[in-house]
Amino acid sequence: MQTTADSAATTRRHFLATSAAISLAAPAVLRAAGRGDKLKLGLIGCGGRGTGAAAQALTADSNTEMWAMGDAFPDKLNASRETLRKEFQKDPQRIKVADDRLFTGLDAYQKVIASGVDVILLAAPGGFRPLHLRAAVDAGKHVFAEKPMGVCPAGVRSVRESVEIARKKSLALRAGFSMRFETGYREAMQRIHDGQIGEVVAIYSTRMSNRLARFDGTRKPGQTDLEWQLRNWHLFGWLSGDWIMEVTVHSVDKLAWVMKDVPPVKCQASGARWQQTVGNVWDQFDVTYHWENGVIAVLKTRYQNSCYNEHDDVIIGTKGRCLLRGYNAQITGEKPWRFTGPKPASHQVEHDELFADLRAGRIPNDGDRMANSTLMGIMGRMSAYTGKEVTWQHALNSKLDTFPKNLAWDMKLEVPPPAEPGRTLLI
C-alpha cells in the first residue's frame, strides 16, 4: 500500500483543485469519435463492477483498448487486469495496460485521467463519484459513471456542476442506471407515458433479498481505519450511502423514470438495522414519495436472511396497471400487453449505445436524471435516519457532507454509530 504521495490530505476541495490543475495540462479529447479513431479507455475502481464495465465497454466497440487502470489497492488492480486479459485472450491487443499504467493509492484516479485516455469508466465506491467525475470532466474526458452519483447532498451538488461542465464541453456522460436500458422496461415505460394505463396514480416498488455478504467486515491485523473501511466499503455510509443507495437506487431510478424525471416534493420514511453487525448501514427501508400532482410511490427495501424476497414494480393507473418483474413487463386492464421481445443484458446495452453515439457524432448526457435519482435515494435515507419528513428542496440544499476531511491512509477514521430516528438530526 502506498503511504507517500497519496497520504497527503485529500479533502473534497483538494480533489477538485488538483483535478483542475490536471485539466490544464491534459490533451483535448475527441468530442466525437470517427469510425477509424482508436479510443483509449481508463478504469477507476477495479472491483467486480468496474471490471465488468471495462469488459462491456471493450465489447461494445472493437476499436477500443484498455489503456490505464487505477484502484486504491494493488491486489484489486492486478486481479482486474488478469480477468480482462483472460476474457480477451483471443485479442490480447485490446488490453494494453502496461505496468507503468497501473496506478494504486488515493491519487490513482488523477494518474489514470492524465495517462492519455479518451473515455473514463468510474466504478469506485459511490462516495468518491462526485470527486472522480469532476476530475474527469475538468480534464475533458467522456465518462461512464456507475450508480449512485454520490451519497450525500453536497456530493450531488458537485455532480450537478460537473454535468453542466460536461454539457458545455460537449462531453458524453453515461449513467450506470442500467434498468433504463432493459428492452422490456423501455417499451413498458413508453406505453405508460403514452397513456396505455391511463393517468398514473400510485407506484409500489420492492427490492427485498437476502443479506448482501460480499464483505464480512473482518478487520485484518495491520489494517488502518481507512484500509479496513475501503476493503469493506458496502458497510460504511460515507462510501456506499447505505443499501438504499448502493443497490435499491435502481428501484428509485425506476420511480423517477415513471414520473418522467420530475422529482417528488417530499417523502416520509422509516427503517431498521436488524442483522447488520459491522459498520453503520441499515438493512431495511420503507419510503413514501409524494409528487405535486398527487401521485404516491411506496418503496420497500430489505436485505435480511430467512425472510420473504421480492423485486417488483407495480405502476397503477386509472385504466390499468403495469408490472415489472424479473426483467419482464406486462400491462393489465383496458389495453393488456406483455413484452415478448429480446432481452439483451442491460449492462451491455448501456455501453453499446454510448459508443455508437460517439461514433455517430452524438454526445449523450444522462446527467440531470442521474443526479435527481441519486438525490431521491438520499432524501429517503435522510428521512428514515431522522424520522422526519424531508422535502426535495431541503435535500437539495442540505449542508450534509459525509465525505471525511483530510483523507489519508494513516488517519484516525472513527465509524459514526448507526442512525437513531428521533435522535439523529436532520441537517
55-69: pLDDT as tens digits? 999 999 999 999 999
Per-residue pLDDT band at 111 (split at 50, 70, 90): very high
Q: What is the pLDDT of residues 233-261, one digit of tens each?
A: 999 999 999 999 999 999 999 999 999 99
Task: Say which CATH architecture domain 5-179+359-365 belongs to.
Answer: 3-Layer(aba) Sandwich (3.40)
Name the residue with higher pLDDT: 232 or 11.
232
pLDDT(112) > 70: yes
Neighbours of 382 (CB within 10 A): 24
The pLDDT score that the predictor gives to residue 213 is 82
Mean residue pLDDT across the chain: 93
CATH 3.30.360.10-classified regions of the chain: 182-343+371-397
Q: pLDDT per residue over 26-47, tens digit each? A: 333 444 555 568 999 999 999 9
**Percent share of the chain, pLDDT over 90:** 90
Q: Which residue spans within 100-152 are E strands per DSSP?
A: 102-104, 119-122, 142-145
Is the pLDDT score of 22 beyond 60? no
Residue positions counted in the chain: 427
- Write down the pLDDT at residue 4: 33
| Distance separating alpha carbons of residues 376 and 263, to the nearest angstrom | 7
Reply yes or no on whether the pLDDT at 376 is more than 50. Answer: yes
Per-residue b or e along 92-122, where b marks 16 or more CB atoms closer than 10 Å to that residue's CB: eebbebeeebbbbbbbbbbbbbbbebbbbbb
Nearest alpha carbon to residue 374 among 256, 271, 288? 256
- In 14-83, at which residue ranges do the beta strands (DSSP E only) sit? 39-44, 64-71
Answer whether residue 301 shows pLDDT above 50.
yes
Judge contact between 320 and 331, C-beta under 8 A: yes
Q: Round to whole Å and give the CA distance between 211 and 167.
A: 39
Q: CATH 3.40.50.720: which residues of the chain? A: 5-179+359-365
Higher-scoring residue by pLDDT: 99, 7: 99
What confidence score (pLDDT) does residue 381 get? 98
| pLDDT confidence band for 23 (50 / 70 / 90) | very low
Strand order in the sheet with 284-290: 337-338, 328-333, 320-325, 312-317, 200-209, 296-303, 284-290, 266-272, 390-391
pTM for the structure as a whole: 0.92
CA 37 to chain centre: 28
pLDDT value, residue 26: 34
Q: Name which of 243, 220, 16 is nearest 126 in CA terms.
A: 243
Mean pLDDT of the region 361-381? 98
Give residue-wise pLDDT tens across range 167-221.
999 999 999 999 999 999 999 999 999 999 999 999 999 999 999 888 999 999 9
Q: What is the pLDDT of residue 14?
A: 40
The pLDDT, as a whole number, for residue 33 is: 55
Give the per-residue pLDDT at 35: 58
Q: Specify the residue for cell string 420473504.
A: 308
Distances (CA, A) of 94 to 22, 101, 126: 26, 15, 28
* Interval 359-388 mean pLDDT: 98
Say what percent of the chain tops pLDDT 70: 92
- For the stretch 122-158, pLDDT in tens is 999 999 999 999 999 999 999 999 999 999 999 999 9
Q: How confident is the model at residue 116 (pLDDT cuts 50, 70, 90)?
A: very high
CATH C-level class of 182-343+371-397: alpha beta
DSSP state of 285: E
